[in-house]
Structures are given as structure tokens and as C-alpha cells.
Amino acid sequence: MATDYYAVLGVRRDASQEEIKKAFRRLARELHPDVNPDPKTQERFKEINAAYEVLSDPQKKQVYDLGGDPLSQAGGGAGGFGAGGFGNFSDIMDAFFGTASQRGPRSRTRRGQDAMIRLEVELDEAAFGTTKDIQVDTAVVCTTCNGEGAAPGTSAQTCDMCRGRGEVSQVTRSFLGQVMTSRPCPQCQGFGTVVPNPCPECAGDGRVRSRRTLTVKIPAGVDNGTRIQLAGEGEVGPGGGPAGDLYVEIHELPHPTFQRRGDDLHCTVTIPMTAAALGTKVPLETLDGMEEVDIRPGTQSGQSIPLHGRGVTHLRGGGRGDLIVHVEVTTPTKLDPEQERLLRELAQLRGEERPMGQFQPGQQGLFSRLKDAFNGR
């Protein structure tokens, strides 16, 4: 062929579509008639426009690479600013402003927003799972107009200002010359249609607020902040569009006895020094029912007694955490004369009348460290 379109744009024959587009942008900015009114420049601009029209279209490019004339087959030519000569208007806008305008009206039907609700659960419900009914107040499809937005017996009409295109064009003068810009139609807000008789129930939005009840399955092992996704149970979109998702965020209520740490439960039992010295059994109401905690003789304050498998169910995977019982030994502060006499005899028998004591660098016990960890220190 007489014209080498690859040479016109200054690209290789194996150039990618992105490289071809970049070359066209660069040349269009330099040679557009509004920027450079020289007649020779205008002819050059027609050439690069024709070259881009061919090389940016895979079918035309294939015809050209095989030696054919894609422009003559398409019924256009390389010399003019019509549909064939000027190329895609959005590409010209893209060359000057970096982005191509989106043509055509926008849809009235759009996806709805996601919604979130906070759900409070007890510790045992979080540990073993449960089902709960929740009240949800969201947007649903208007049953009067079925999401159309128009009053019964009527329908949306084509906008007479933009003739259904959703946008209007305006020609202004700038240092480049005359520039045509497009903006959403102010009468139909870019939809291309107007609703002269809106639905009286939803005021033309296609949706109304409604309260409904949903049953949520709470899996075993959920924790504070866990979110459960209910697909399609969120807000219905404008124009009766598809609903978003509903997220149920778990908030675990405090327990009077246990404090949760991951999947383990912690509690503290306070016993007198005599029970710690002699040993005892302390009843404890666990999540599984009543159990006895075995306090062995000689138990020290700060020791912990694990009850394996009595904690929270693992959310992912089988098994459960542990229940850790922390022991706190109390010392009596008031003794009657008989109690004091007996303790002194015990101290004498044990050789502890004047104990020397054992001093160590300041070090927290296990219980103190655990309490500080709970308090975030």
C-alpha cells in the first residue's frame, strides 16, 4: 500500500495496542487543527487519524497487514473529519485530557449498599454456637411499582432535552480554539429518561424502608469483632437493583466468672491459707456444668490449675481451649486468742517463729502478670 500506517504513527509493526494508543495521543496533541492551524499540519493530522483508525481496530489491522485497504472496505477515507476520517471522538478526548468520556445514559438500576448490625451474645453462645432472630431495618423493593419508580399505569419517558443520550454537549472557546465538552443532562441527571409520574409509595426511588426478621446462625467459637456475612440481605439498590450484603458483627457480653483470652477461659478462686496448706476441692460452675477443682496440699498463691478442654470451641478446626483456674491464697487479718495460740504453736513446730525470708529482685507473680496483660499494661 502507498501509506505505511506504522511509519505514520512511528511505531514498530509488532507494537502493542497500548504503544499504538500512546503514539496517537502524542501526535494528536501536537497536530490537532485547533492547536496548529497550518494546512500542512491538518493534512498530517488526517494521516495519523486514519492510521490510528486502522491500527486500533483488530479487524481493520488484520486486513491492512494482509495487504488490503480496510478504509475503502469500511466505506470511509483518510481525508476528512467525518465518521471515517476523524476516528473515535472519545480517543481524541483521551488524547487531550487523558481519559475518554463514558458515552450513553447511566442506568437507574444500581446495586444497593452493604449494611451492618451489631449482635450481642453470651459467652456460652459464642463458645458453642447458636441461632438468633434479628430485626433488620433496610431498603426493600417497592411492591407498588416493582422497583420501576413510576406510578402504576405509567412508565419512564425519554428525556426531551438530551433525547435519551443522558448527556448534553456544549461548544466553548479556549486557547485551543473551539472545544466541545459533554456533561450529564441537567433534566434527567444522566439517566436518559424522566419519570413524569413518580410512584406515590417510594417517590420514584423504586425502594422503601421496611423492618424484617432474619434468623442468623452463629458458629461455635466466634469472638468479639467476628463478622458474619449474609449475602443479598443488605440494602436493595435504587431502581430495584440487587441488594448488597448484610454483615452481623458479634459483640460478646462480659461473663460474671470467666474472662476470655483467645479460646481459653480464665477465672480466679480465692481460698484461705489453711485450705491451701491442707488441700481441698472447690465447686465451680463451668460452661459444661458443675465440676470440682482439686486444690492440692501446699498450693501457692499465683498457681494455676488447668481444666483441659473446658474452654471455647475452636472456630476453625476441632477441639476446644482450656479453662485456667488461678489460685489466690488469703491470709487472715484478725485472729482471736485461741487461733493466735494455735498458729504460734504451729510456727514453733515448723521452726518458723522468726523466719529469715527469701528476697529476690522485683518480679511479678504469674497472677499479677496475667492481670496486667488483661489491663493492657
CB 295 within 8 A of CB 281: yes
Residue 275 three-state SS: helix
DSSP structural state of residue 80: S
Residues 313, 316, 318, 321: is their CA dihedral positive or negative? negative
Was 145 annotated as part of a binding site? yes
In the block, residue with C-alpha cell 491464697: 329
β-pair partners for 144: none
Block residue for cell numbers 507494537? 15
188 is in an annotated binding site: yes
Burial category of 183 from C-beta neighbours within 10 Å (exposed 0-12, middle 13-18, buried 19 and up): exposed
Distance CA 311, CA 190 (A): 58
Buried b / exposed e along 88-106 (16+ C-beta atoms within 10 A): eeebbbbbeeeeeeeeebe
Helices (H) and strands (E) in the chain, counts: 10, 15
The answer on whether 267 is annotated among ligand-binding residues is no
Query: Identity (one letter) of the amino acid at 332?
Result: P
Measured CA to CA, the distance from residue 135 to residue 212 in angstroms comes to: 6
The residues facing 208 across adjacent strands are 140
Report the chain's C-alpha Rg in angstroms. Answer: 40
Instruction: Indicate the annotated binding residues.
Output: 142, 145, 159, 162, 185, 188, 199, 202
Instruction: Indicate the annotated binding residues for Zn(2+).
Output: 142, 145, 159, 162, 185, 188, 199, 202
